[in-house]
Amino acid sequence: MSRFFVSSVAILFLAAVPAHRAHAQAPARVQGAPARRAKAEAHPRIHAAIKELQAAKEELQKAPHDFGGHRADAVQAVDRAIEQLRLALQYDKK
């Protein structure tokens, strides 16, 4: 085998080993212990989805064409999706 190939494989192997060790040493959750709600559980993906849907709605509304007659239905569907996501977030706070 070429020296370049062997060196490349060795570098890749050595790069993967520290990541594997760090993962293996992560503390295990005690079985039966209640899961704590972390501050990070603010549902960032849902909030990001709402922002993306709002941007998509704005893009649909400003477009110079009607997307083959589907624009109005798409805007309504986006409005319903945003509303459902907001309701889901409100329910989570209860």
Question: Where are the domains positioned within the chain?
Answer: 40-94
Residue 61 has what pLDDT? 96
Instruction: Provide the pLDDT for residue 93.
Output: 75
DSSP sequence for 47-75: HHHHHHHHHHHHHHHH-SS-GGGTHHHHH
N residues, the chain: 94
pLDDT value of position 22: 46
Contact status, residue 45 vs residue 92, Cβ threshold 8 Å: no
Instruction: List % helix, strand, coil for the chain (3-state, nearest 5).
Output: 70, 0, 30
What pLDDT is attached to residue 9? 47
- The pLDDT tens digits along the chain (94 residues) read 455 545 444 454 445 444 444 445 555 555 665 555 545 568 999 999 999 999 999 999 999 999 999 999 999 999 999 999 999 999 887 6
